[in-house]
Structures are given as C-alpha cells and as structure tokens.
Amino acid sequence: EAGVAQSPRYKIIEKRQSVAFWCNPISGHATLYWYQQILGQGPKLLIQFQNNGVVDDSQLPKDRFSAERLKGVDSTLKIQPAKLEDSAVYLCASRVAGGETQYFGPGTRLLVL
C-alpha cells in the first residue's frame, strides 16, 4: 500500500512570496489533515478535511493560509504572502473514516528568507 505522498520535499522562498504544497493521501482515506511542525515542537493542526469538506480550520491563519480538497482526494495548502515565522515542516496525514491511526507523509520543509 502506497503511503501519503507530499511535494515538494523542500522549498526556499523569500518573505512576501507565495508557495503551495501538495498532498496525495492513502487511497480510500476520507480524512486528511495538514499540520505545521516548527523546529523543536510537535505538529500543530492547521486544517482537517472529511472528504472535501472542512471539519476544523480553527488554527489556520486564514489571512494568509488557504487549503482545498476539491475532489475529496488530493489536497493543496497555500501560503500567500509568506512570513519568516512560516518556516517549518508542513505535514500531511490521512486516516480512514472511523479509523484511529493517522498516517503521515514525509513533509515539506519550508524556509522563508
């Protein structure tokens, strides 16, 4: 079974630029999460999708972050404009509906200069 795929793996941008990350969850997993992991900290939930609907985006900085999961499969997370404090690893995870286990992708490392 293929795992959660994410791209790109690394991205370096300058502040005020925009950036987008892509996630392809495990086939059949209805629930998809985006997390932000700042160096030395645990993952922090940004947004949770159930199929193509948003379940929780209470911690998403909506003035600059957006996410979508149009067909209930792949998802994109966008930052526009980026700030220095957005430097982090952005993790995507998926879970089968009703299941307990989250499966994480390898993450995208973002550095904002």
Question: SS3 for 47?
Answer: strand
Q: Which of residues 78-107 bind other proteins (CB under 8 A)?
A: 91, 93, 95, 100-107
Nearest approach in angstroms of CB 56 to other proteins is 5
Amino acid symbol at 25 = P
Which of 11, 23, 24, 43 is close enough to bind other proteins by CB under 8 A? Answer: 43
Binding mask of the shown chain, residues 16 to 35, with x at each position contacting other proteins by CB under 8 A? ---------------x-x--
CA 110, 7, 102: angle at the middle one, nearest 5?
95
Bridge partners (DSSP) listed for residue 15: none
- CA dihedral for 60, 21, 107, 81, sign (positive or negative): negative
Q: Which is nearer to other proteins, 93 or 112 (CB)?
A: 93
- Which range touches other proteins (CB under 8 A), out of 15-23, 36-44, 63-71, 77-85? 36-44
CA 30, 34, 36: angle at the middle one, nearest 5?
160
Does 1 bind other proteins (CB under 8 A)? Our answer is no
Does 112 bind other proteins (CB under 8 A)? Our answer is no
